[in-house]
Amino acid sequence: MSVEFKLPDLGEGIHEGEIIEVLVAVGDTVEDGQPILVVETDKATTEVPSPVTGKVVEILVKAGDDVKVGQVLMIFSTGAEGGTGRPAVEAAAVKAAETAAEPEVAALASREAQREAGRVAQAATEARQPTERMGPVPAAPSTRRLARELGVDLRRVTPSGPGGRVSAEDVRAFAARGVETALESEAPPAPGREIPLAPAVISRVEVEDHARWGPVERVPLRSVRRATARHMALAWSQIPHVAHQDVADITDLEAFRRRHKAGVEEQGGALSLTVFALKAAVAALKAFPRFNASLDTATEEIVLKHYYHIAIAVDSDRGLVVPVIRDVDGKSITELAVELRGLAERTREGKTQVEDLQGGSFTLTNIGVLGGTGFNPIINFPQVAILGLAQARWQPVVRGRQEPFDVVPRLMLPLILGFDHRVVDGADAARFLNRVKEGLEDPEKLLLV
């Protein structure tokens, strides 16, 4: 019996990926659960297991190909009697769900069977499915969250999932169509018409043919780079960005760091400036909780988060990746130094898992090691603020309130706070950054956070 193997659901919010490596060849015999492909998504690099025991008859992808969930990747021969195509997929998926040793494999197979069965029912009801629906709309929690973030009413979305279930792709497509309608008119809202809290998302814009003017080269936008581009476009289009800047005198902090650097390294950590910035940020977030929040545009509510999971921007060969350190408020300087070092190493090696990249409530980005006196960081949507650190430099600083003044060398660190002006105001940002400065300028205070 021939069995089509399709790219399974790899986790919440992941709907496509890039084939990094094909681990089998045509003619190979594979076991149920044996890794057959390595797929890189915008979240992580994942080994994809075979759902059946059988022989590889055909491989439809190669390294470098972009694939989507549900796309046929391979065809197997199981040696069992029966037909081909979808019935074979259903039988294989149900069997895998019942007998797979790994829960993840069982879950993937079960979802595949549910999708196949649902498509049959959906085809019969699609024609009479109204555009506007009343009552609860079938959709996953992640899809509902995406709809809220994009300002999309699920009742107006035509579903493509089994049993009339709305998928994340349905929501994105609806949002993109809304952009086309919005761009048709540049007229301001009529008097009394409510202006939405979140604008529509522009997905694609036509560009000119650059080859008219000379030689060009086209490089595919793949995996992490593509995910970053999409996320940045979403963040910039949805959030009214404002930046507040200041400088912190970290002369004493640097002396403290150098004194304790070796001791922390003996325990497996790296006592970097980012570690201290994490603690200073938590102190400020506790004092000003609206910076540790998200804006729910659907319900017009500010969601205040009572946890402190800080995302850290990490530069890697794959592109910008933003893993999360959880419960920063409950960890010591040394514990953070050890965890941050390990997390950064896993990120650069492409070994982060999906859960490593989820659940951040605030983001910290430090480009100081690369130079620069300042920059304008983009907020990590759907968060409402981001703290950026530029390069610390020795500068002459004037001390004293009246003559004769003293001019002394001090190590000064540029700080940039990007914030969502829908949720917080400029005065709030100044107070927040002042609190961060207090922590960085007084190392002993950080030990109390």
What is the per-residue pLDDT across 269-314, written as a single tens digit (0 to 9) for each? 999 999 999 999 999 999 999 999 999 988 899 999 999 999 999 9
pLDDT digits (tens, 9 = 90+) for 367-393: 988 988 899 999 999 999 999 999 999
**In this structure, is residue 35 part of a structural domain?**
yes
Q: How far apart are CA 57 and CA 25, in angstroms?
A: 9
Q: Which domain holds residue 94?
A: 2-124
415 bridge partner residues: 246, 389
Same domain, 385 and 290: yes
Same domain, 142 and 120: no
Q: Are 63 and 36 in contact (CB under 8 A)?
A: no
pLDDT in the model for residue 186: 40
State how many domains the chain has.
3
More confident residue, 112 or 430: 430
Q: Are 155 and 137 in contact (CB under 8 A)?
A: yes
pLDDT in the model for residue 11: 63
Same domain, 98 and 160: no
Q: Are 347 and 294 in contact (CB under 8 A)?
A: no
pLDDT digits (tens, 9 = 90+) for 342-364: 999 999 988 888 889 899 999 99
Q: Let me know if 244 is a catalytic residue.
A: no
- CATH number assigned to the domain comprising residue 62: 2.40.50.100
**In this structure, is residue 83 part of a structural domain?**
yes
- CATH number assigned to the domain comprising residue 312: 3.30.559.10
**In this structure, is residue 256 part of a structural domain?**
yes
Q: Encoding tokens for residue 335?
A: 């514990």
State the pLDDT confidence band at 124, using cuts at 50, 70 and 90: very low
Q: Are 414 and 250 in contact (CB under 8 A)?
A: no
Same domain, 377 and 431: yes
Segment 114-118 long-range contacts (CB within 8 Å, at least 24 positions apart): 114/162, 115/70, 115/161, 115/162, 116/86, 116/89, 116/90, 117/90, 117/162, 118/161, 118/162, 118/163, 118/165
Same domain, 60 and 172: no
pLDDT digits (tens, 9 = 90+) for 175-206: 766 544 443 444 455 555 566 777 766 556 66
pLDDT in the model for residue 98: 42
User: Rg of the Cα trace of the chain?
Assistant: 26
**In this structure, is residue 203 part of a structural domain?**
no
Report angle CA 48, 51, 52 to the nearest 5 degrees.
135
From the candidates 15, 231, 260, 421, which is the catalytic residue?
A: 421
Q: How crowded is residue 363: how many other Cβ atoms within 10 Å of its Cβ?
A: 22
Model pTM score: 0.67
- CATH number assigned to the domain comprising residue 168: 4.10.320.10
Q: How far apart are CA 135 and CA 113, in angstroms?
A: 27
Same domain, 254 and 395: yes
Same domain, 250 and 165: no
State mean pLDDT over 431-448: 91
State mean pLDDT over 104-129: 45
Same domain, 30 and 153: no
| Alpha-carbon torsion (331, 333, 334, 336), positive or negative | positive
pLDDT digits (tens, 9 = 90+) for 126-164: 434 444 445 567 877 777 777 776 777 788 888 888 778
